[in-house]
Amino acid sequence: MNEDQQLYVSEPLKQTGRLMIKDENLCVHCGLCAERCPTAAWDMQKSTVEIPYAIDEMKQEESRCRQARKAG
Ligand code: SF4
């Protein structure tokens, strides 16, 4: 948990005067709130997060070495 993470707090909403407050420490980005929004005011889409791993870098380096050996 990132205790330095600030809460998102909106200005009072025009229609109700209520605030929207979001805590990124708790949100798991499940998208349920986007699904339930009665006006489809916002959307969540699938995305892929690519996290670099050392093993992937090693495999790429091995591949480069193999190609260099073949080339002579
Ligand atoms: S419903 Fe899901 S995406 Fe929406 S705020 Fe809660 S945890 Fe985050």
Query: pLDDT averaged over the chain?
Result: 89
**CA 63 to ligand 1 centroid distance, Å:** 42
Separation between Cα atoms, residue 36 and residue 23, nearest integer Å:
18
In short, whether 29's Cβ falls inside 6 Å of ligand 1 is: yes
**CA 35 to ligand 1 centroid distance, Å:** 10
Q: Flag whether pLDDT at 61 surpasses 90.
A: yes
Strand 8-9 to 21-22 pairing: antiparallel
The whole model's pTM is what?
Answer: 0.52
- 20 is a domain residue: yes
Separation between Cα atoms, residue 54 and residue 56, nearest integer Å:
5
pLDDT at 3: 84
Separation between Cα atoms, residue 43 and residue 37, nearest integer Å:
9
- 34 is a domain residue: yes
The domain in which residue 34 lies consists of 1-44
Q: How many domains does the chain have?
A: 1
Separation between Cα atoms, residue 44 and residue 31, nearest integer Å:
6
- 71 is a domain residue: no
- 60 is a domain residue: no
Identify the DSSP state of 21.
E
